[in-house]
Structure 1
């Protein structure tokens, strides 16, 4: 196994900050690319004659594949380490954009951008998240916040850059240039040096593991079972987290995919519409590390699940109010508040899972969560595009997304109250007989 899975104590600093930088880059491309590609959608739609629903499938397939490949990515990280996995993911992303630039049908873009690009982003995302959990423990919320800040930073840069490239080179030339830029993920992967164990395990402890893995079929089945561990569904806290996350993911990305088109529909020029994504990303850029600092405080850290539900409620409320924003200054205000809510959620989303499962079970848990989340990820933007095609108005997609996210946030809050109450009750029940035994012998 690579050194990063050897169970050594997290260094909580040192080269870990360079690892955070690499994760910042790879996570930035992973989350911002499907959003920033929406700048090209209008041009692709006119060139290939696609509907709103059909064009939305590009981002949906890319995101769904990125999430669905979680268990496979986790197995690859466990076998080879984060560094080669991220480098491979960067190469796949570059190939996907270059080949997509030659596409003449929407189905071809589904395969190149959606499937190949989604696989590359999946390798980048899961490997980066896993190695952070190996390098940090006490400072893990801060490290996660800084790494996840890559998404808004890159969105802030890519949105206006894509609009500029579109004006000069068209969507085909822009995808070709974007493919070259995504090779930076290979550089990011090179920074992800495995954690060096402080001491070697005794030889006697290694021998049983070698004999137990003598049968290749049994070894593969054991690994697959470990990364699709259905025993997580017996954990009440995990099930609550998963349901709330599924509701959030369904409505999370459609407002981003259609924000630029919605602004153009409100008679905002294309460059100003693209800057709405940059404004959102700029706000998100500062909110994520700030949220990481707040989440690491003594008062919030034990209540991080409630903080997460508040962030979701705030995010859903913003979407419900968006149809009232019919001028550019009001749309800028919406982009600012959207950036705040979105940044809070994604600074906490994996930290809350680590808080529930622990760093040792996190790779398996995140693999299972991401493969389940691929379904709402796949259906959300096309469902929103269908509403636009059916009613000819964007407001209904914002109503749908806001209502679903708000429901997920309220569900998390109420069920976490119930879960913590039940945990306290179970803890008292377990300690009850011991206390009675002590009282008898006083």
Structure 2
């Protein structure tokens, strides 16, 4: 297997130190980003009755929030590349708080779409992407472990919010609960404050090269001035392309591994979130009481919480890391199999068993989801890569739960929704197995060709030096050489 993508950060990541504090901050930020839309499903049945809307209409609430979170990826990437992770995460926490506070005053379902979905979703985008990016600047050798620990924030926060939301609803109603949840999300601002930029080691510069460096810097500065003046006089289209290429790496669309990841994920996300969104409503549909239905989410989250760091440890091992793309392919396929078997579970006990196995599958997939992307493109291109991936994935993220809700409305049963989600997960899992085998094979061939070219170049250089050494010297008239 080929080695992981080169870091090319220009420095050696510390792989520890303050990086573990950053992992904890990312734990909080990522936790709220992924757990918040899922935990709001506790209010779905009551909001559905309050506004007299269908299953598919109430499902749009989580869909709009998740889609906005993914659609805000490129904007978040540009802000991170420009200002760093710390201020972006803090602004994200303020946005989510504002959206939830405004939603508590909502009078229509459209109002909730705009406040919770759009404003809150963009705030979550500013929490998610910077937290993922900054881990790659602090870790290289221990990066799968760090990513696994940070991604554990999602089930930990979900296991806390699920019963808390039920308590808040019983005590304050959904309006008061939304206002309180908005204040709780302000903890993301604290997490953002902990995301100190990595301290890069100073580059040693010899004294005898100082004048040359200063001249070189002057030339580069002059060139930059000339370039900026010419850019001002260029066409608007060229300026736009320069702006985009400065913050987003469009060349990733020619990267084979990135395209494999993107194609598979677009299909996978049609069935990724819907089973979690409808887990509690499915239990209530079978006659389970509200607290028992909320307990299913807690069981799911506890198992998810356990498996994510375990997946990080396994992904960091010498046996799995060179083959981590296959590990990811297995996790996707395993999710699909769980959903296909879910309708066979009978009674509350069967749903508990499903929640356990689904928690294992979902946790494995979530812990690897961004690590395998970083493995494919390298940490230096990850910020742009995750921005491009999220903006394209916002389509299936937006449409997945409403399509699933429409299936429930049409058939009056949840089993067809779980069958559809199972197919949406199993097909890309098989696709990943096949295409990653092909990608690894092509990378091995390219690596061998590169070695051969380097050897030929080295041999030509050696032959040239030998020929120069053997070149006869001309003898002068006085006998000297």
What is the TM-score with the length of structure 2 in the denominator? 0.86
Q: Distance in 1 between matches of 2:449 and 2:83?
A: 44
1:137 and 1:265, CA in 2 relative to 1: closer, same or farther beyond 3 A?
same
What residue number does 1:46 align with? 49
Asked if the contact 2:9–2:380 (Cα under 8 Å) also holds between the matched residues in 1, the reply is no
Shift of 1:429: 4.4
1:366 and 1:39, CA in 2 relative to 1: closer, same or farther beyond 3 A?
same
SS at structure 2 position matched to 1:250 = coil
Q: Distance in 2 between matches of 1:434 and 1:18?
A: 42
What residue number does 1:183 align with? 186
Shift of 1:436: 7.9
Q: Quick check: 1:296 aligned with 2:316?
A: yes
Asked if the contact 1:284–1:339 (Cα under 8 Å) also holds between the matched residues in 2, the reply is yes
What residue number does 2:126 align with? 123
What residue number does 1:159 align with? 162
After superposition, the C-alpha distances for 1:307-337 in whole angstroms (9 at most, x for unaligned) are: 0000111111111111111211111111111
Shift of 1:230: 3.1
Q: Quick check: 1:255 aligned with 2:258?
A: no
Q: 1:391 aligns with which of 387, 411, 421?
A: 411
What residue number does 2:174 align with? 171
After superposition, the C-alpha distances for 1:139-188 in whole angstroms (9 at most, x for unaligned) are: 11111111110000001111111111111111111101100100100000
What residue number does 1:401 align with? 421
Q: Distance in 1 between matches of 2:182 and 2:156?
A: 18
Asked if the contact 1:101–1:172 (Cα under 8 Å) also holds between the matched residues in 2, the reply is yes
Q: Distance in 2 between matches of 1:294 and 1:209?
A: 49
After superposition, the C-alpha distances for 1:51-87 in whole angstroms (9 at most, x for unaligned) are: 1111111111111111111111011111111111111
Asked if the contact 1:284–1:343 (Cα under 8 Å) also holds between the matched residues in 2, the reply is yes
Q: 1:357 aligns with which of 374, 377, 383?
A: 377
Q: 1:145 aligns with which of 143, 148, 162?
A: 148
Q: Quick check: 1:230 aligned with 2:250?
A: yes
RMSD between superposed Cα atoms in Å: 2.3
What residue number does 1:318 align with? 338
Asked if the contact 1:266–1:326 (Cα under 8 Å) also holds between the matched residues in 2, the reply is no
What residue number does 1:277 align with? 297
Shift of 1:432: 5.0
Asked if the contact 1:75–1:223 (Cα under 8 Å) also holds between the matched residues in 2, the reply is no
After superposition, the C-alpha distances for 1:189-209 in whole angstroms (9 at most, x for unaligned) are: 010011122216976557368
Q: Which stretch of structure 1 is more off in the superposition, 119-128 or 422-431?
A: 422-431
Shift of 1:406: 0.5
Asked if the contact 1:226–1:364 (Cα under 8 Å) also holds between the matched residues in 2, the reply is no
What residue number does 2:101 align with? 98
Q: 2:399 aligns with which of 379, 383, 407?
A: 379
SS at structure 1 position matched to 2:430 = helix
Q: Distance in 1 between matches of 2:162 and 2:279?
A: 12
Q: Quick check: 1:343 aligned with 2:363?
A: yes
Q: Distance in 2 between matches of 1:128 and 1:429?
A: 38
Q: Which stretch of structure 1 is more off in the superposition, 202-211 or 144-153?
A: 202-211
Q: Distance in 1 between matches of 2:199 and 2:239?
A: 25
Gaps of 5+ in 2: 1-7, 206-212, 464-481
1:208 and 1:313, CA in 2 relative to 1: closer, same or farther beyond 3 A?
farther
Asked if the contact 1:227–1:365 (Cα under 8 Å) also holds between the matched residues in 2, the reply is no
SS at structure 1 position matched to 2:163 = helix
SS at structure 1 position matched to 2:105 = coil
What residue number does 2:325 align with? 305
Q: Quick check: 1:25 aligned with 2:28?
A: yes
What residue number does 1:193 align with? 196
What residue number does 1:421 align with? 441
What is the TM-score with the length of structure 1 in the denominator? 0.94
What residue number does 1:207 align with? 221
Q: Distance in 2 between matches of 1:166 and 1:8?
A: 50
Q: Which stretch of structure 1 is more off in the superposition, 429-438 or 224-233?
A: 429-438
Asked if the contact 2:78–2:248 (Cα under 8 Å) also holds between the matched residues in 1, the reply is no
Q: Distance in 1 between matches of 2:17 and 2:457?
A: 49
SS at structure 1 position matched to 2:15 = coil
Q: Distance in 2 between matches of 1:369 and 1:182?
A: 25
Gaps of 5+ in 1: none
Structure with bigger gyration radius? 2
Q: Distance in 2 between matches of 1:394 and 1:437?
A: 64
Asked if the contact 2:249–2:381 (Cα under 8 Å) also holds between the matched residues in 1, the reply is no
What residue number does 1:61 align with? 64
